[in-house]
Amino acid sequence: MAVTRIADIIVPEIWQPYMIERTKEKSLLWQSGIIEQNPIFDELARGGGNTMNMPFFTDLSGESEVRSDTTPLTPKKIQAKQDISVKHYRGSAWGVNDLAACLAGSDPSDAIATLVADFWNRDFQNCLIATLKGVFASALMASEQVVDISIADGTNAAATNLISSNSTIDAFKLMGDELTAITAIAMHGDIYHELLKQDVIEFEQPSEQGILIQRYKGRTLIVDDKMPKVAGGTSGFVYSTYLFGEGAIAYGEGAPKMPVESDRDVLQGDEYLVNNRDFIMHPRGVKWTGAGTVASTSPTNTELQQAAAYLRVYEKKNVRLLELKTNG
Contact 112, 94 (CB under 8 A): yes
Mean per-residue pLDDT, 252-266: 83
Given this model, what pLDDT does residue 56 score? 74
Contact 311, 138 (CB under 8 A): yes
Q: Of 55-59, 139-143, 167-171, give the lowest mean pLDDT range.
A: 55-59
Given this model, what pLDDT does residue 197 score? 94
Mean per-residue pLDDT, 151-171: 96
Integer Cα distance of 81 and 325 in angstroms: 31
pLDDT band at 4 (very low <50, low <70, confident <90, very high): low
pLDDT at 326 over 90: yes
pLDDT one-digit tens code per residue, 46-98: 988 888 888 878 888 888 989 888 999 899 888 887 889 999 999 998 877 76
C-alpha pair distances (Å), 139 with each of 13, 70, 123, 286: 44, 48, 27, 11
**In sequence order, what DSSP letters do the residues of 290-327 get, joined into one string?**
--S---SSS--HHHHT-GGGEEE-S-GGGS-EEEEEE-
What angle do the packed helices 12-26 and 108-137 form, to 10 degrees?
50
Which residues have a Cβ under 8 Å from the Cβ of 85 and sit 6 or more positions away? 44, 51, 52, 54, 250, 280, 282, 287, 288
Given this model, what pLDDT does residue 1 score? 42
pLDDT one-digit tens code per residue, 203-249: 887 666 666 789 999 999 999 898 999 999 999 999 999 999 999 99
**Collapsed DSSP state (helix, strand, coil) of residue 228:** coil
Given this model, what pLDDT does residue 61 score? 82
**Collapsed DSSP state (helix, strand, coil) of residue 144:** helix
Given this model, what pLDDT does residue 102 score? 60
pLDDT, mean over the chain? 86
pLDDT band at 128 (very low <50, low <70, confident <90, very high): very high
**Collapsed DSSP state (helix, strand, coil) of residue 161:** helix
Full-model pTM = 0.84
Type and span of the H or E element at 115: helix 108-137
